[in-house]
Structures are given as structure tokens and as C-alpha cells.
Structure 1
């Protein structure tokens, strides 16, 4: 008699395994974010109220926030609050953490999603073009230039690239505002600063995979049949690099989500990344835990969605993973 797991289809079994890993990872994130933050030396209430605040006020605030309880009790209360959607109260601003995250999450999500779209839209034609030039053997200088430029973009840190964009396009040319978030013009530089590095990395992957596909036997057979070049590229070659491109793209999107911390800080964007930096400086435990948890959930959700898309496109993924 077959077991329950054997009766499930490969796709369903794959989805269950991935969902289980997501939940396990989320538990680890909750544990790590809580206990590691509480290991940081210093009194968060004193840091929020200032060194001149009366001791009685500090003790009252600490009691109101439950920080006078033993660590295990604080952790139990924190987990119980998570199940009811209560992330706690900010020590720094006394606002509900869930309200702050709810107001700043859309900005971070739009920034990360826009960066991913721009990176993907630039990487596909750039990688395919570089592969065609490299394979033709007639553009070695162009190929070397493209590879060098992509390597430089990959190596430059996001914050340094963002500062350079501000210096050139805001300070020198005056095309875009140097900071803030309030319109399309204010989003251009942050999105570009976030997308250029991942775009270069993804373009290199597309280039390598496209060269492999173009050198494959079935593409050579299609050329013998004198199929038009555009049909070879877009109907036969492009679909065969989707799996690897999507896999790397999913990792890049997860990285872009976490990378918003740097971009939002450099461009003074009121998103979750900027909130996290401010909360770390103020030792605002509830805010740090809430933002870290949401960031982790976003990254894990992106990875799960990519995995499910991959199993839909290529069912062999579940067999390989299993």
C-alpha cells in the first residue's frame, strides 16, 4: 500500500516540501531576531528617552513595554502577539510597529519590484546580444568591452554606485532630485542604483546560457532547416534559458528586497530599510524585530514563488530536488 507522500503528485509533494522549509526558516528567523537583538549591550529605553530622563520614567516605560520581564516571558509574549498580528510598540516613537510597517511596506515593495523589472528588462537583451557577438567571432573587442563593463558594475557596491549617480545626475546635471520619494523623477535614481549591479550579473548568466543553447545540437539542426534567425532566438533558444535565468532572477529579487536598506538610506526614502537603520541606532527592539521578520518573510515568499514557477515550467525540477 502506498504511503500518503507516494500518492501525491510530484508537483504537490514539491510544493509541500518547499512550504515546510519556508515555515522552518521563518521559525529560525523569529528565534534569531529576538535573541540576537537582546544580546546587544545597552538599555533601549534609556537610549530612547535620553541620559537625562528620570529613573522613575525609565522604569515606567520599561514596565509598560514588558521589558522588565524575564527574557523567556518576553519571547513568549512576542510570539503570542505575532499570531494576532501584534508586532509590539516602538520604543522610539511609541507607535504600533504593525502600523509603521504597513505605511512603509508599499514603498519598499515598489522599490524592490521596480529594480527587479529594470534589471530583468536590461539583462535579457544585453546578455543575448553579448552572446551573439561572442559567438560570431567578429566582435572580440566589443565582447571584451561588454564583459569588462559588466564586471565593473557587478563589483561596485550599491552605496558607492548610488552616490555616484547622485553626484552626476543630481548635483552636476540637475536632472533628478538627490533624495526623497514623491514622484516618478525621485524614483529614477534609486531604482537605477538598485538595478545596475543585478542587471550586470544576470546579463552574464544570460550570455553564458545563451551561448550554450546556440551551440547545442537542436539549434544546429534548426539552422540546417533554414529557420529565420528571430525564430531561432525567440522560439527555440530563449525558452531554454528561462529556467536558469528565473532561478538566478529569484535570488536577485530576494537580494534586492534586502538591498533596499542601503538604497533607502542613501536616498532618504521613507521605507522599511530606512526604518530598520533608524531602529538599530536607537536599539528599538520591537521595531527591529518586526522589520527583520517582514524582510525575511518577503525573501522566503519570493523564493517559494520562484520554486513553484520553476516546477510549473519544468516538472523535472521536483525530481532533481527530491
Structure 2
């Protein structure tokens, strides 16, 4: 038997089936994970637009003529004008911006003013060295910070071992405050020049990674270790840990299976921020060790006023930081879906 709807129409089985896709679509749109993905992707797109626009305006906001600065004062005005015409810097600003976006969408970052090589080729040759250095440093920082932070929390829980706590806190603060490049210079002097254990420049075998990786990882490892300890101390005072301890669970199972996973959220957040800082920190460390990565490339491009190359490297660094932050947000949502539902 057909039912009459509020507007006087007859609703039968066909009407119910016709409304099902609409309800499914509305349910899909209102799903917390869909809203989370839409919100994060919209932020990523907006951030990328700001990054790209800032990189584009960089050449135009620099005082003076960037082409003259790159070619030098001895270059003739005819050469400068020809180079400006080749780079399209004589066109209206909006025309340049649209062309920049179009070329960027096609993977064209322009050409280096000094070498004439495509910027994308320069970045492609140097990017793997920087990524390898940053990833190795991040992994070392995590491998050092988690056991040290966990061990310090277990040893000093409940106000025990004040001297151990003081030594851990003091050491971690001192290591975290030393700049990467200053630590790199010290390591080069001790382990490269005086002892001769490791090479001091270039990218060769595994030994060439030791000093730059330690230089980059020491500070973040100290910060992460303190975060792990604080979070672990908070977890160790919860009721379910007291219950697990009352059941006389083995220490490995108690701390690694029950306590550590619940303390990883804040650690992962800080770890993502530190990974972003590691990417930026490679700029100075690469120059100390003459590492053939993007860090040395951007410094050399700034010195020679090769602004298209600087523009491309800035875009790569900025995009890398944004993608790392997105990956951290997704990982946190997977580890703690309740936070995603609350934000939706």
C-alpha cells in the first residue's frame, strides 16, 4: 500500500529506492574521514598556492635587476636585455605569473641564469643526496630518542633517582641548544682532522654519512627523548598501567606493548616538525661537509644571484615540508581516530 508524503505525493517502493543514492551521497559527504580528507587537502592546496606565489614574487621584490646581478657588472646592457627577454621578465607581471604557473604545472622550473641548465635537472641531480641525508638523520634521531626517553621515564618515575633525572635533563638541553653547523665543525675537527676516523667532505661510502648524519640528528634526538620521557611518565601514572603492573606483566610487555604506543602521539607530532626542520638544517650542514645536495646548491645560487635556481630549490623545500606535515596529520588520525571525529 502506498503512503502519502507531506506534499501530497504518493510514495511507493520506487520512490524509496530513488532516494537511496541521495542518502548514500549525503552520508558519504558527512563521514568524518571524508571531511578530514577534504579539510587537509584544502589546507594543502592553499599552502601550496601561497608558497608558489611567494616564490614567484621573490625575483620581483629583490631590489635592483636580478639579471644584472647574476651576469655581473661587466656584462653589456645588450646581453642583459637579451637575457631579460629570454626569461620573460619584460612582460606584464600577471602574464609572467600565469606563465610561471603553467610551466610549473608541466614540471618546468626555468633555466639557471649562470649555467643555463634547466633548474629541474639541477634539482634532480642534487635532491637524492639531500633526501638521503635527511631521512638517515631522522631515523637515527628516532632510534636514539625512543629508548633513551623510555629508559629515563622508567628509571625516574614517581620522583625516583633525582640525579639521573638531572643528568638526563641537563644533557638533553645542552645537546638540543647546540646549532647543527657548530656541532658539525666540532665533529670535523675531532673525528676528521685530529683522529682521521671519517672523511670530512664529499659523499662517498657509508663512512661519509656518519659525521653529517650525527650533526643533524643529535639536536632532534635530544628534543624527542625529552618528549618521550614526559609522555611516558604521564602514561605510567594511568589506571590501566597500574592494573597491568598489578597483574605482574613482564616489563617488556608492560612498557613496549601497553605504555609506549599510548605515548607516541605527541612524539609523532614533534617528530614531524623535527623532520621538517631537518630538511632546512641540511642547508648549513651540507656546506660544512661539501655535501652535493640542495643545501650547497641554494647557497651557491644565492651568492651568484641565480634567482631561478633559488626559486626552484625554495619550492622543493617548501613542498617537502608541507607533505611531511600532511603525512603527520594522516598518521595521527590513524593512530587516534577520535580526534578526527571531534574536529569534524
TM-score (norm 1): 0.95
Give 1:140 shift. 1.6
Say whether the 8 Å CA contact 1:34–1:75 is kept in structure 2: yes
Give 1:94 shift. 0.7
Give 1:6 shift. 6.3
Give 1:138 shift. 4.4
Say whether the 8 Å CA contact 1:131–1:211 is kept in structure 2: yes
Give 1:34 shift. 1.7
Say whether the 8 Å CA contact 1:5–1:13 is kept in structure 2: no
What corresponds to 1:204 in structure 2?
226
Residues 97-126 of structure 1: CA deviation (Å, up to 9, x unaligned): 111111111111111111110000000001
Say whether the 8 Å CA contact 1:123–1:199 is kept in structure 2: yes
Q: Partner of 2:244: helix, strand, or coil? A: helix
What corresponds to 1:275 in structure 2?
297
What corresponds to 1:71 in structure 2?
93
Following the alignment from structure 2 to structure 1, what is the Cα–Cα distance between the partners of residues 189 and 342?
48
What corresponds to 1:60 in structure 2?
82
1:179 lines up with 2:215 in the alignment: no
The worse-fitting range, judged by mean Cα deviation, of 185-194 and 9-18 is 9-18
Say whether the 8 Å CA contact 2:29–2:35 is kept in structure 1: no
The answer for unaligned runs of 5 or more in structure 1 is none
Q: Which has the larger radius of gyration?
A: 2
The worse-fitting range, judged by mean Cα deviation, of 188-197 and 258-267 is 258-267
Q: Partner of 1:68: helix, strand, or coil? A: coil
Q: 5 Å matches for 1:77-226? A: 77-135=99-157, 137-226=159-248
Following the alignment from structure 2 to structure 1, what is the Cα–Cα distance between the partners of residues 225 and 125?
34
Aligned CA-pair RMSD: 1.7
What corresponds to 1:240 in structure 2?
262
TM-score (norm 2): 0.89
Following the alignment from structure 1 to structure 2, what is the Cα–Cα distance between the partners of residues 56 and 253?
46
Give 1:88 shift. 0.5
**Which residue of the other structure, out of 252, 261, 264, is the alignment partner of 1:230?**
252
Following the alignment from structure 1 to structure 2, what is the Cα–Cα distance between the partners of residues 23 and 4?
24
Distance 1:30 1:4, change over 3 A: farther
Give 1:40 shift. 1.2
Say whether the 8 Å CA contact 2:134–2:278 is kept in structure 1: yes
Following the alignment from structure 2 to structure 1, what is the Cα–Cα distance between the partners of residues 69 and 29?
57
**Which residue of the other structure, out of 297, 301, 305, is the alignment partner of 2:319?**
297
Q: Partner of 1:31: helix, strand, or coil? A: helix
Say whether the 8 Å CA contact 2:59–2:66 is kept in structure 1: no
What corresponds to 2:19 in structure 1?
none
Say whether the 8 Å CA contact 2:298–2:309 is kept in structure 1: yes
Following the alignment from structure 2 to structure 1, what is the Cα–Cα distance between the partners of residues 221 and 286?
19
The answer for unaligned runs of 5 or more in structure 2 is 1-21
